Amino acid sequence: MTRVRKAVIPAAGLGTRFLPASKAVPKEMLPIVDKPVIQYIVEGAVASGIEEVVLVTAAAKRSIEDHFDTFYELEERLRAQGKTDLLAETRRPAELARFVMVRQGAPLGNGHAVWLAKEVVGDEPFAMLWGDDVVFGEPPFVQQLIEAHERTGGAVVGVMAVPPENATKYGVIEIAERLDERLVRASRIVEKPPLDAVPSNLAAVAGYVLTPDIFGYLEETAVGQGGEIWLADGVQRIAEQGKMFALEFAGRRYDAGNKLEYLEATVEVALGRDDLGPAFRAYLEERLRA
């Protein structure tokens, strides 16, 4: 079986849920403490064995490309000042993996964005990660998906259990067969089903490991809602072949495009840091007593 070595991160959307901040700053670049959201996602992928990352961006997302590139003038200034720790942190994003930047010239949908990575990915399975979904946990989220892919040989989507009233906001898995407590074969993914037609409590989030046949299915996919090509339509073709699986992963997922969950992720990261955690916890406790 071919090892999963590459990841694709579509990051060309407008980020309207975080306006007005996302008017000038891509939502993927909003910081959780002192690192942008997308860096946490890339770091988790690299910790899972990913070696090459394809970032699908748009003209207004130049800062994402710059973040994972070198910044000669800044690095030279830090080196001259002897600020070796800051220099290492500045260089780290560009050194995480090999990066390939692909531009999506028009807003033609997330399926089209993934399809644009075809020439880079080639005939290999790959991770597909949403640029604003962060999962904190051990083992890393992508590693969990890769292990499920290696077990089944098929595509795998990360899922989490949600209350039925919230399932209407997600793509929800219809279960064809349960393999164990956390892994199922999916017969389909129902996008934002009405409350009386929710097929399970398992909502698709954060990302997939996809098999390369997805590219052929996306090429055949007709334009859908909003004049866009949707990844879910291509994934549905994989499910029809009986090769789509869903893993209820271990860890906590934050939708960093949701203002409340973005704040929650920031608090979790800050509390977990040795340099910030004790003082920040004391501040929060003081505020709660006030």
Q: Is residue 218 part of a domain?
A: yes
Q: Determine the Cα–Cα distance for residues 55 and 131; give it in Å rounded to an integer.
A: 9
Q: Is residue 220 part of a domain?
A: yes
Q: Is residue 164 part of a domain?
A: no
Instruction: Please tell me the predicted confidence (pLDDT) of residue 70.
Output: 95
Q: Is the pLDDT of residue 252 over 90?
A: yes
Q: Are residues 213 and 81 in the same domain?
A: yes
Q: Hunting for tokens 């939708």 — which residue is that?
A: 255
Q: Is the pLDDT of residue 131 over 90?
A: yes
User: Residues with Cβ < 8 Å from 198, sequence gap 6 or more?
Assistant: 164, 167, 168, 172, 190
Task: Kindly report, residue by residue over 266-276, the tens digit of the pLDDT.
Answer: 999 999 999 99
3-state secondary structure of 149: helix
Q: Are residues 95 and 145 in the same domain?
A: yes
Mean pLDDT, range 28-57, rounded to an integer: 97
Q: Are residues 225 and 289 in the same domain?
A: no
Mean pLDDT, range 32-40, rounded to an integer: 97
Q: Are residues 37 and 70 in the same domain?
A: yes
Q: Is the pLDDT of residue 137 over 90?
A: yes
Q: Are residues 26 and 92 in the same domain?
A: yes
Nearest to 102 by CA among 51, 33, 54: 54
Q: Is residue 201 part of a domain?
A: no
Mean pLDDT, range 42-46, rounded to an integer: 98
Q: Is residue 274 part of a domain?
A: yes
Range(s) of the domain holding residue 283: 258-290
- Number of domains the chain is built from: 2
Q: Are residues 252 and 265 in the same domain?
A: no
Q: Is the pLDDT of residue 225 over 80?
A: no
Q: Is residue 178 part of a domain?
A: no
Instruction: Please tell me the predicted confidence (pLDDT) of residue 204.
Output: 96
Q: Is the pLDDT of residue 226 over 80?
A: no
Are the C-beta atoms of residues 26 and 9 closer than 8 Å to each other? no
Q: Are residues 39 and 88 in the same domain?
A: yes
Q: Are residues 247 and 268 in the same domain?
A: no
Instruction: Please tell me the predicted confidence (pLDDT) of residue 227.
Output: 79
What count of other Cβ atoms lies within 10 Å of the Cβ of residue 273?
A: 12
Q: Are residues 152 and 262 in the same domain?
A: no
Q: Is the pLDDT of residue 98 over 90?
A: yes
Does the pTM surpass 0.85? The reply is yes
Instruction: Please tell me the predicted confidence (pLDDT) of residue 218.
Output: 95
Residue 239 bridge partners (DSSP): none
Quick one: tokens of 11? Answer: 């990051």
Mean pLDDT, range 91-120, rounded to an integer: 96
Q: Are residues 122 and 67 in the same domain?
A: yes
Q: Determine the Cα–Cα distance for residues 147 and 153; give it in Å rounded to an integer.
A: 10
Q: Are residues 111 and 135 in the same domain?
A: yes
Q: Is residue 249 part of a domain?
A: yes
Q: Is residue 198 part of a domain?
A: no
Task: Kindly report, residue by residue over 142-191, the tens digit of the pLDDT.
Answer: 999 999 999 999 999 999 999 988 998 899 999 999 999 999 999 999 88
Q: Are residues 245 and 276 in the same domain?
A: no
Buried b / exposed e along 189-213 (16+ C-beta atoms within 10 A): bbeebeeeebbbbbbbbbbbbbbeb
Confidence category of residue 15, pLDDT binned at 50, 70, 90: confident
CATH number at residue 132: 3.90.550.10
